[in-house]
Amino acid sequence: MRRVVITGIGAVTPCGLDAKSTWESVVAGRSGIRRIALFDASEYASQIAGECVGFEAERYIEKRKLREGDRFIHLAVAASMMAVESSGLTPSDEERERIGTFIGVGMCGLELLERTAQTLKEKGPRRITPYFIPAVIANLAPGQVSMKLGFKGPSFTTTSACSSGGHAIGEAMRWIQRGDMDVAVAGGSEAAVTGLGVGGFTAMRALSTRNDAPEKASRPFDRDRDGFVIAEGAGILILEEREYALRRGATIYAELVGYGATADAYHLTQPAPNGEGAQRAMRLALQDAKLDISSVDYINAHATSTPTGDVQEVKAIQSLFGNRIREGLWVSSTKSMTGHLLGAAGGLEAVFCAQALREGVVPPTINVDNIDPECAVLDVVPDQAREKKLNVALSNSFGFGGTNVTLAMRAHS
C-alpha cells in the first residue's frame, strides 16, 4: 500500500490558539486549565475546564456565516485552515477532487442545543432558527471545512466518544493507502464546555472537583487524581501520499505507519480488565506498521486523570511492552496540561506526536506529585520535557463503550 506522511498541523487549544504556541506551552509544562468562563458554573460541583480563551471565530469565518455552525465547527474550520497553511498545500481544481475531510466529533453542538431548547420552551417552535440542524450535526465540522477549502473528496465524521479524532486519522490513512484519495484533512474537534456537558459528566462523577487549584486538577498517574478536566479545542493533521508530498516539496513532520482499532465489549464506561482492548489496539497498530515493540520510544497516553482508566492503560502498556518499559520507553499524558478534549483529543495528541518526532522533544506529564504505586512501573516524564531523537511514537485514544484506537508514527526517512 501507499505510504502516508504528515505535512501540516493546526490546533486551537486551552494552551494556545495555534499549533506553535500550544506546543511551546505544553513543552514548557504550562497548564491551560482555568475556572469556567463560558457559562455560569457556580452551582456545579466541577467549575474548571480547558477553554480556548481569546478564540475569535470571525478571523476564519465570515461574520454572516457564523450562525451556520456551533462552536465545535468554528474550531474545526480554524484548525483546518491553519493546518493547510502550514502544509503549503495549493491544489489545482482537479487535485481538490482527491482531497478528503475526516474530522471526529464526540458530542456535537451542545451549546446551541441548550439555547434552542430554551427558545422552544419560552417562545415556541416558530422561533427556532432554520440554521439549528446544520449548525449542530456532527458531520458539518468536516462539511464546513470542505466547503471553506473547496476539497471535494470524501467528507465524513467519525463519532466514537474520546476515540473520535483517532478514528478519523486512521480512516483517512486507509483511504490514502488504498489510492482512493491523495490528501486528507484529518483530526478532531469538540466544544462541550457547556452546562449540559459539564453537568452530565459531573453527574457521572467523572470530573475533577479541585476547583481551588485548576492548574493542578488534571494529574494523570498521580495518587491523588480525582477525575478528568473537560476541555474544548481542535487538532488537525494534513495527511498526504508520500510521493505526492515529495513531488511538491512539502515539509514532512513524520510518517503515519500504523492504525489499530478494537472494542472491549465489556462495559458502558469502564475499560476492560488489564486494558485488554487497549493492548490489542497497540499491538494491531504495531503489526500494521510492521514494527517491533523495541522500536517504540514514546507513547502519548490516553491517561485522562481518572482513578481506573490510568491504571488500566498502564497495565496494558506493561503487559504489551514488558521489559521495554525499563529500557528507555517514555510515556506521558499531555492532558495534564490541555485537559481532556473528548472527541478532539486524538487529533490534538496526534499533532503532539508529529511535533515530538520532528523536534526530538517529549512533552512532560505535570502534577505528578506522588505517583500512584500502580503507575510507577512507567517513566511518565514528570514535570520536565526531555530531548531525545525519536524513531517511533504511539498515540492512544480510548472512549466510553470500550472503543480503542492507537496510531503509530515514525520519523520520516
Q: Is 375 a catalytic residue?
A: no
Strand-pairing partners, residue 304, are: none
Cβ pair 281, 404 in contact under 8 A: yes
- Cβ count within 10 A of residue 232: 30
- Helical ranges in 50-152 per DSSP H: 71-87, 93-96, 110-123, 132-136, 140-149
Cβ pair 287, 257 in contact under 8 A: no
pTM of the model: 0.97
Catalytic-role residue among 74, 167, 302, 412: 302
Q: Is 353 a catalytic residue?
A: no
Cβ neighbors of 233 (< 8 A, separation 6 or more) are: 11, 12, 13, 14, 50, 52, 75, 79, 189, 190, 338, 341, 344, 348
Q: For the chain, 413 residues long, give each residue's pLDDT as a single digit of tens.
A: 899 999 999 999 999 999 999 999 999 999 999 999 999 999 999 999 999 999 999 999 999 999 999 999 999 999 999 999 999 999 999 999 999 999 999 998 899 999 999 999 999 999 999 999 999 999 999 999 999 999 999 999 999 999 999 999 999 999 999 999 999 999 999 999 999 999 999 999 999 999 999 999 999 999 999 999 999 999 999 999 999 999 999 999 999 999 999 999 999 999 999 999 999 999 999 999 999 999 999 999 999 999 999 999 999 999 999 999 999 999 999 999 999 999 999 999 999 999 999 999 999 999 999 999 999 999 999 999 999 999 999 999 999 999 999 999 999 98
Catalytic-role residue among 15, 52, 108, 162: 162
Catalytic-role residue among 52, 108, 167, 340: 340
Cβ pair 280, 262 in contact under 8 A: yes
Angle separating helix axes 276-289 and 307-321, nearest 10 degrees: 40
Q: Is 302 a catalytic residue?
A: yes
